[in-house]
Amino acid sequence: MTWRQHVKRAALSGGVYRALAPGRPFPGLAVLAYHAVLADDVARAVVPFAPLHVGASTFRSHCAMLASHCDCLSLADACAIWEGRVPMPRRGVVLTFDDGHRGLVAHALPSLERYGIPAAVHVCTGPVASGASFWFDVMARRESEAAVEAAKALPYDVWRTRLQVAVAAPDDPVAPLDPVQLRHLAAHPLITLGAHTVTHPILARAPRDVQAREISESVQALAEWTGITPTAFAYPNGRPDLDFDAATMAEVAKAGCGVAFTTHEAFARPDEPAMARSRFLILADVDAAELAHRLLISWPR
C-alpha cells in the first residue's frame, strides 16, 4: 500500500469523508461504470482485462461507503432528475455495469441487496443468446489484449473477419449472463436492464445501417427475453466521436432509448445531451477509500 492509499483509508475509517460530505455537493450525478465483479479467489492472471473487473469484497466495500455517503439512485430516478422533474440530490450516484457478466448475480447482487442500492446493467445480447464468450475475451486469450485494442481500430467489415467464436466455459469468471440469469435480473426490483449492442462492435466504425441493426436488435432481444423494453443504452467502448458519433446517437434514440451512456469521465450534469451521459470508469484497484476521495475531492467539479 502506498502512503496515499494509507492516508485515504485512514480518512474513510476515521469519518473524514463523511464529515466533508455535507459541504461537497456534486455538480451533477456521479454515474459509475463497472464491468464484471469477480469472486475474490479468482486467479486474476488468467482473466483477460483483469483491471476492468473489481473483486466482490471491493465491490461490497464500495456499496457500504456509497450507502453511507451518497444518494444511490435508480436509472428512472436519475432520468427524472436530469429532466428536471425531481430536484438534484446533493450527492447522487448511479451504478451501471457494462456487457452483462454471469458473475453479477453471484458477486454483485448480494451487495446491492444488502445496501439497497439500485443498478443498471447494459447487456451485449449476442453472447447471452449464443452462450459464447465476448469477442474481446476470446481474442485476448488466443492472441493478446494488444490485438483487441488493434482490432477496435479496424473498419467494421475488417473487424468482422478477425472475430473468432468460443463457447464460454461454465467456470469462466467473465462469461456472459445466460437467459435465465437475465430474466432473474430483469425481474429484480433493484435492477434495470439497458442495451449494449448485439456483438459489441465499435459503432462509429460501422456503416449506419449496421449501427441501426446492432442497436435495435439488442433492444428487441431484451424486450423479448424479459417482457420489458429497455430505454437505456451504453455505447461499446464509449468515447465520444471516436467510438460513437451523431448518427449513433440518432439511432439509439430511434430505437426508443431516452438515455445513453459514454465513457467520458465527468459528473453527468442535466445540461449534457441525454444521448451522451458521462460516467466514471471504476477499475479493480479503486478501493472504497479511493472512491470516496474521488467522489468528494478529486473528480473535477
**If binding means CB under 5 A, how many residues of this protein chain bind Zn ion?**
3
Q: How far is the CB of 189 from Zn ion (least distance, A)?
A: 25
Rounded (5°) CA angle 159-164-168: 130
User: Considering only 91-99, 112-120, 149-157, 285-293, which stretch makes contact with Zn ion by CB under 5 A?
Assistant: 91-99
Q: Which of 243, 228, 237, 234 is nearest to 215 (CA)?
A: 234
Phi first, then psi: what are they for 234, rounded to 5°? -125, 130
Q: How far is the CB of 215 from Zn ion (least distance, A)?
A: 13
Q: Cα–Cα distance between 276 and 103 in angstroms, integer?
A: 28
Nearer to Zn ion, 99 or 251 (CB): 99
When binding is defined by CB under 5 A, the residue of 77, 99, 172, 290 that contacts Zn ion is: 99
When binding is defined by CB under 5 A, the residue of 52, 62, 98, 255 that contacts Zn ion is: 98
Q: How far is the CB of 98 from Zn ion (least distance, A)?
A: 4
Q: How far is the CB of 34 from Zn ion (least distance, A)?
A: 11
Nearer to Zn ion, 99 or 287 (CB): 99
Is 106 within 8 Å of 39 (Cβ atoms)? Answer: yes
Nearer to Zn ion, 118 or 236 (CB): 236
Nearer to Zn ion, 11 or 124 (CB): 124
Rounded (5°) CA angle 115-117-123: 135
Nearer to Zn ion, 77 or 98 (CB): 98
Q: Which residues, 6 or more positions from 291, have their beta carbon under 8 angstroms from its beta carbon? A: 62, 65, 66, 282
287 binds Zn ion (CB under 5 A): no
The CA R_g of the chain, rounded to the nearest whole Å, is 19
Nearer to Zn ion, 77 or 99 (CB): 99
Q: Which residues, 6 or more positions from 108, have their beta carbon under 8 angstroms from its beta carbon? A: 34, 37, 56, 59, 97, 119
Residue that has been written with the C-alpha cell 478529486 in this structure: 298
Grid cell locating 26:
456534486
User: Considering only 24-32, 98-106, 170-178, 247-255, which stretch makes contact with Zn ion by CB under 5 A?
Assistant: 98-106
Please, which of residues 225-264 interact with Zn ion by CB under 5 A? 236
Please, which of residues 194-213 interact with Zn ion by CB under 5 A? none
Residues in touch with Zn ion (CB under 5 A): 98-99, 236
